[in-house]
Amino acid sequence: MSDLSTIKFAKDIRLTTLEMVYHARASHIGGAFSMADILSVLYSNFIRIDPKNPESVDRDRFLLSKGHACTSLYATLALKGFFPKEELLTYGKDGSRLLSHTTHKIPGVEISAGSLGHALSISGGLALAAKRKSANWNTYCLVSDGELNEGSNWEMILLAPQLKLDNLILIVDYNKIQSLGKVKDVINLDSLKKKFEAFNWEVFDIDGHNHEELTSALDQCQTKNGIPKVIIANTIKGKGVSFMEDTVLWHYKSPDENQYKEAILELEKN
């Protein structure tokens, strides 16, 4: 049975994200929406972190690699109480600390990201540190599908099984669209599952909008069996607003007033 609270939280993340993007006339809402369900389930039931003590040494680490989709992470953190919700409306404005790519100056954000292909290596370093210190926290890293074009990711995808980093949980937001078109038309990743299996990762190939599947996969990722885990979350870019779904346009576009209102109505209905 679906967890109604995570579904409600995902809706709140999307509504809050929409508001930020609309007021800032910002872009990247498609990729922010595609990962909203992942964030909801992660932050509701898996990532062990205290919003009032976000630098506690025994917290789980979450690293967002696709920093351009920062709005839904900022929304998630504000809604969870890491910083005041009111601050979200300063997003992208002059002097705001809420940059348009994830910034580590924000409570709860581990690293700044923006240049793609960086966070997985850092995540590997964190997971290695936990191993060397016999600490039991996990490192979660969320990457986009397009950024798997970056060779640096594959350096860590090669190394993590060698180091037996079973405390490293990689999530691919596989929304099938990158900057200039469909992933399959730019560099086809299929079969991503077989690729990760060939690299000796434990793979969970799931519907990234289905909270039961996300929960089940994340539950299984807690197993310490010497193998790093990857969740291939098959998602839809712009998920939640029909006219934004599965189109490259909403990697760039900001909604006008009518689209904003229409999007709210759709999100409220779901």
Partner 1 sequence: MRTAFINQLIEEAKVNDKIFLLVGDLGFSVVEPFAELFPDRYLNVGIAEQNMAGIAAGLAMEGYNVYIYSIGNFPTLRCMEQIRYDICYHNLNVNIVAVGGGYAYGSLGASHHATEEIGMLRTIPNLVVCAPGDPAEAKAITTFTSNYVGPCYIRIGKAGEPDVHKPNGPGSLMLGDILPVSKAGEVAILSTGAMLKYVTDFVENNNIKASIYSFPFIKPINSEKLFNIFNSHTKLITIEEHQASAGFGSAILEIMNDFAERKELTSIPSLKRIAIPDQFYSVAGSQGYLREQAGLVLEKGDILNAISIEK
Binding site for partner 1 (CB under 8 A): 104, 110-112, 114-115, 117-118, 120-130, 132-133, 151-152, 155-156, 158-159, 163
Of 129 and 180, which has the nearer Cβ to partner 1? 129
Pairing of strands 168-174, 181-182: unpaired
Q: C-beta of 152: minimal distance to partner 1 in Å?
A: 4
Measured from the CB atom, is 61 or 229 closer to partner 1?
A: 61
Closest distance to partner 1 from the beta carbon of 69 (Å)? 17
**H/E element, 183:** helix 183-186
- Quick one: 112 or 215, whose CB is closer to partner 1? 112
Nearer to partner 1, 115 or 136 (CB): 115
Supply the minimum distance, in Å, between the C-beta of residue 102 and partner 1: 12
Identify which of residues 125 and 181 has a Cβ nearer to partner 1 in the complex: 125
Least gap, CB of 156 to partner 1 (angstroms) = 5
Cβ nearer to partner 1, comparing 54 with 89: 54
CB of 30 to partner 1, least distance (A): 24
User: Minimum distance between the CB of residue 159 and partner 1, rounded to whole angstroms?
Assistant: 6
Gyration radius (Cα) of the chain, Å: 17
Q: Between 25 and 105, name the residue whose CB sits nearer to partner 1.
A: 105
Tell me how far, at minimum, the Cβ of 114 lies from partner 1, in Å: 8
Q: Identify the DSSP state of 60.
A: P
Strands 202-207 and 139-144 come out as unpaired
The residue (of 104 and 261) whose beta carbon lies closer to partner 1 is 104
DSSP the chain: ---HHHHHHHHHHHHHHHHHHHHHT---HHHHHHTHHHHHHIIIII---BTTBTT-TTSPEEEES-GGGHHHHHHHHHHTTSS-GGGGGGTTSTT-S--SS--TTSTT------STT-HHHHHHHHHHHHHHTT----EEEEEESGGGGSHHHHHHHHHHHHTT-TTEEEEEEE-SEETTEEHHHHS---SHHHHHHHTT-EEEEEETT-HHHHHHHHHHTT--SS--EEEEEE--TTTTSGGGTT-GGGGT----HHHHHHHHHHHHH-
CB of 162 to partner 1, least distance (A): 8
Sign of CA dihedral 171, 173, 174, 177: negative
